Amino acid sequence: MTGKWNYKGIIPALTLPLKSDLTIDEQELRRLSQWLTTFKGMAALMTNGHTGEVFSLTWEERAEVTRIVADEVKGKLPVISAVSAEGISEAIEQAQMQKKAGATGLDIMPPHHWLRFGMRSEHVIDYFDAIGKATGLDLAVHVYPSWTRASYSCETLAGLAKLPSVKLFKVGTREMNKYARDIQAIREAAPDKAVLTCHDEYLLASMVQGVDGGLLGFASFIPELILELTDAVHAGDLKRAMAVQERINPLKDIVYGMGEPTGDAHARMKLAMVMAGRLKSAAVRPPTRQPDESTRQKIAKALKSVGMLQKEAA
């Protein structure tokens, strides 16, 4: 299936439904996956992202999540799974598990030690090239914020864009001047590669930079609004786009506040999905905690303001 997909559109990074005992809720995961495939404009589904609580999952659980989603969508959309590893051998082993589980693409997160110690451009190129050659799968470059030591330079992004295995970029630079330069560097190196925003917390501002769509945890929650916003931006209809963003803002504010996506934000989003009737349980794995009562009330108020509140609490 490699090479079949162009990834231009919206890709939800799936939230992970859990049972009360914190095991994977397969039935709910299947239902959520199937529901998301019904929206026109979806380019893929992504498992095991930060929204999917990847760091709380074992390797076997990550593969099981991918297996469930891939089995449910049955080729209607490609399934991308995130790989979070420390070295090339570990990354390849993890990637092969995801391939066996049914992944058609891989989102490659920077190794954690790059966040602590930094890295050179050749480290990054070698890492991606090795995973791509070992698996034969399409790769997504997961671009971390500019303030981290794992932030890729424009030159590194251009080098990655030239790799045959790299098909898309999940650009989360979160510093708008560098974000614009990052997009330009990718476009100049490989105009055919998909460039997607992952700025859930300021969608419109990042979408009008000429990207092809978004790879967003928020799209697990409000796919219809994000697809409508994307359509308006691509049509050049700024007034309509601003109106859609206004409808998104109360939900964006209660989930992300003034910051970026975090474990707490993902917990707030799960609870909002429950209150909107889009998920059965708001359970999260520790050390992340469920929102307190004050936050629950604020979520209910935000949902009510946009006509999405179905029940006050979970």
Q: Is 109 helix (H, G, I), strand (E, B) or coil?
A: coil
Q: How far is CA 155 from its chain centroid?
A: 24
The CA angle 229-233-235, to the nearest 5 degrees, is 115
* Sequence spans of domains, the chain: 10-235
Is the bond leading into 291 cis (omega within 30 degrees of zero)?
no
Q: Is 24 helix (H, G, I), strand (E, B) or coil?
A: strand
Band of pLDDT at residue 80, cut at 50, 70 and 90:
very high
Summarize the confidence of residues 73-88 as an average pLDDT: 97
What is the topology classification, in CATH, of domain 10-235?
TIM Barrel (3.20.20)
Q: Is 268 helix (H, G, I), strand (E, B) or coil?
A: helix
- Residue 111 sits at φ, ψ, to 5 deg, of -55, 145
Measure Cα distances from 107 to 83, 126, 208, 296 in Å.
6, 16, 24, 32
Strand ranges (DSSP E) for 40-179?
45-47, 79-83, 105-108, 138-143, 166-171
Residues with Cβ < 8 Å from 291, sequence gap 6 or more? 264, 267, 268, 271, 299
User: Does residue 314 carry a pLDDT above 50?
Assistant: no
Write down the pLDDT at residue 257.
86
Among 286, 243, 295, 245, which residue's Cα sits nearest to residue 268? 295
Q: Is 106 helix (H, G, I), strand (E, B) or coil?
A: strand
Band of pLDDT at residue 3, cut at 50, 70 and 90:
low
User: Model confidence over 158-208: pLDDT tens digits?
Assistant: 999 999 999 999 999 999 999 999 999 999 999 999 999 999 998 999 999
Band of pLDDT at residue 147, cut at 50, 70 and 90:
very high
Band of pLDDT at residue 260, cut at 50, 70 and 90:
confident
